[in-house]
Amino acid sequence: MEKLQDEILLVDKPAGMSSFGVVARVRRKLSEEAGMIVVKGKDGVLRQKQRKVKVGHTGTLDPFATGLLILLVGKGTKRANEFLKLDKEYIATVMLGADSTTGDPEGVITEREVREKPNKEAVEKCVESLVGENLQTVPRFSAVKINGQRAYKLAREGKEVEMPRRKVQIYELEISRYEWPELVIRCKVSSGTYIRALGEDIGEKLGTGAYLTALRRTEVGKYRVEDACGISDFV
């Protein structure tokens, strides 16, 4: 692929790979393409060294999630603040009738006994009630810092902490498909909204429990996943 300098790079992250893993692979590939430079060591000897290209992300995706990652390359890394508060769009698959300790398929799954399965009308009413401003509890398995430590680290150590609650905006929330126990939704939300928490909120309102089995980020601000390159471009 052509060399990139000081640009925004859109990548479609695959499932099972961390956002940091994507950054590392892209950095390695672009650095290889940038070639070698000559540097003088402390001993005064000139040596060739691999040029290092700066690459950073503007917002992570959980390993199980797929979709749009906006990476900044070279001097473009100084523009990170421009992307912090952008609205986002997701497509999520919600599994009703069970709970997960992490809100996603990576946690411990506990099935619930649901005597009356909600019909589509009940699910639609539930979804509609969540549109607008919501007070959302930040998931225990998140990167938010609690007393200087990452929440997910404390959760893995089995420590109970009170998670903060934040105001978030759900601009659009619609059902793409519903066939018990699987619900697929499309949502457009403000920055800082946890879709795992949104899935759990749906399960709580329906009285069924819920967790995400799939999550795909399709849009960040004006940027769309259709315009992104695949991770296979950076092998």
Asked if pLDDT for residue 3 goes beyond 50, the answer is: no
Assess contact for 6 and 72: CB atoms under 8 A: no
Among 122-136, 154-168, 189-203, the range scoring the smallest mean pLDDT is 154-168
Same domain, 72 and 93: no
Q: Mean of the pLDDT values across residues 103-122? A: 95
Assess contact for 211 and 98: CB atoms under 8 A: yes
The tens digit of pLDDT for each residue in 13-48 reads 999 999 999 999 999 999 988 887 777 778 877 777
Place of tokens 């005064």: 44
DSSP 8-state symbol, 162 = P
- Residue 98: Cβ-neighbour burial (10 angstroms; 0-12, 13-18, 19+): middle
Termini Cα distance of the chain:
11
Asked if pLDDT for residue 120 goes beyond 60, the answer is: yes
Residue 2 within a domain: no
Q: Which domain holds residue 56?
A: 8-85+224-234
State which amino acid sits at residue 41.
G
Residue 75 within a domain: yes
pLDDT top residue among 77 and 177: 177
Same domain, 80 and 93: no
Where does 9-119 have alpha helices with state H?
19-34
The tens digit of pLDDT for each residue in 91-105 reads 999 999 999 999 999
Catalytic residues: 62
Same domain, 115 and 192: yes
